[in-house]
Structure 1
Amino acid sequence: MEIRRTRYDAPDAVKLNDLVQQEYVRRYGDGDVSPMDAAHFEPPRGLYLLVYDPDGTPVASGGWRAQDASPEGFADGDAEIKRMFVVPQARGRGLARALLAELEATAAAAGRTRMVLETGLRQPEAIALYGSCGYLSVPKFGFYRHDELSLCMGKGLTADLRI
């Protein structure tokens, strides 16, 4: 496995984003329409990563983008996780956990103090992963903050920050 930095709009990233959108359609009836732009994931205010199998096939994706206090419910110092996804044939190998650890480390190194994410109640695997990695429920934020199926979670990236 190799984790590589890439652009959100790079061909392999687009390929995996299309697959995650299909997953959302299957679970929720439509794709995620949160406003997203490749510029959101440009260092130092963001980062996008892909995980590749040894044969060069992209099998997982995820990124973070900086957020600060806003009417959408973010707080100063937030890093918002977006598009965490592992292709079905690569699941169960610890790729999501490794990718999440890298996202947390890079966000902390960029000065972000809290990692936050929005998932949905129809994604029990994601909820279990994040919970096992120390994420707790936080007040809803973001594009889907008023959706009854939305669940927001967060984790402090510094020892002195409690959620």
Structure 2
Amino acid sequence: MSDGRHQVSRDGRDQEFRKVTLADPLVEPLLRELTHEYVTRYGPEAHQEMTRYPVDAFAEPHGVLLLLLEDGEPVAGGAYKRYDDRTAEVKRMWTHSAHRRRGLARRVLAELERTAAAVGYRRIFLSTGPRQPEARGLYLAAGYTPLFDVTADPLTIGPLRFEKPLPALLPTH
């Protein structure tokens, strides 16, 4: 499901993945909630994370920003950018606070993996903060390999890095 292909959720809602740019007004809830989440968990300096990368980092052909829309409203999203020639780096994973615990982040992550593999990436990499146990759990459950000692206190590690191989698919571009 990508680029306007629709699906109906179990509760009858129309859902679609849409590729967007950071300038798209539909991205505003993602940016606002992520910024609030980062600042709440890590302090005011975390605000810089949301402006760290240039706008085109999440644009095709080397990146993508996906929103999962439900009845036309953004409920979850995520992005990847080029890390190196064969690796995409996941960034900006988000689920709207009113829609958490529904498996939406896992669906976004799977769609990001599919999209990255389709354009030729062979590996996906990401890091999350040590104060985001929900994200850590998501990535472990989705089959990502932790690049840190999972038995250590996350607050002693710093960023928690993960990787996952991607299947070789024929590029779609």
Name the structure 2 match of 1:16.
30
Using the alignment, how far apart are the partners of 2:31 and 2:102 within structure 1? 20
Aligned position for 1:90? 99
TM-score by length of 1: 0.81
**1:1-163 residue pairs with structure 2 within 5 A?**
1-30=15-44, 31-34=46-49, 35-54=52-71, 56-68=72-84, 76-138=85-147, 148-158=157-167
What is the SS of the residue equivalent to 2:48? coil
Structure 2: stretches of 5+ with no match in the other structure: 1-14, 149-155, 169-173
- The answer for unaligned runs of 5 or more in structure 1 is 69-75, 140-146
Using the TM superposition, give the Cα deviation of residue 88 of structure 1 relative to its aligned residue in structure 2, in angstroms.
Answer: 1.4
Residue 32 of structure 1, CA deviation: 4.8
- Count the aligned residue pairs: 144
Greater C-alpha Rg? 2
* Contact residue 2 and residue 51 of structure 1 kept, 8 A: yes
Task: Write the distance in 1 (CA, Å) between the matches of 2:109 and 2:66.
Answer: 10
TM-score by length of 2: 0.77
Give the Cα separation in 2 of the matches to 1:10 and 1:44.
Answer: 18
RMSD: 1.7
Distance in 2 (alpha carbons) for counterparts of 1:127 and 1:18:
22
Runs (4+) of structure 1 moved beyond 4 Å?
none
- Identity, % of aligned positions: 42
Q: 1:22 corresponds to which letter in structure 2?
A: H
Higher helix share: 2
| 1:130 Cα offset (Å) | 0.6
Q: State the 1:66 CA deviation.
A: 1.1
Q: Give the structure, 1 or 2, with the largest relative contact order (CA under 8 Å, sep 6 or more).
A: 1
Judge which range, 23-32 or 78-87, deviates more: 23-32
Cα deviation code 1:2-36 (max 9, x no counterpart): 21111122122133112101001111113253421
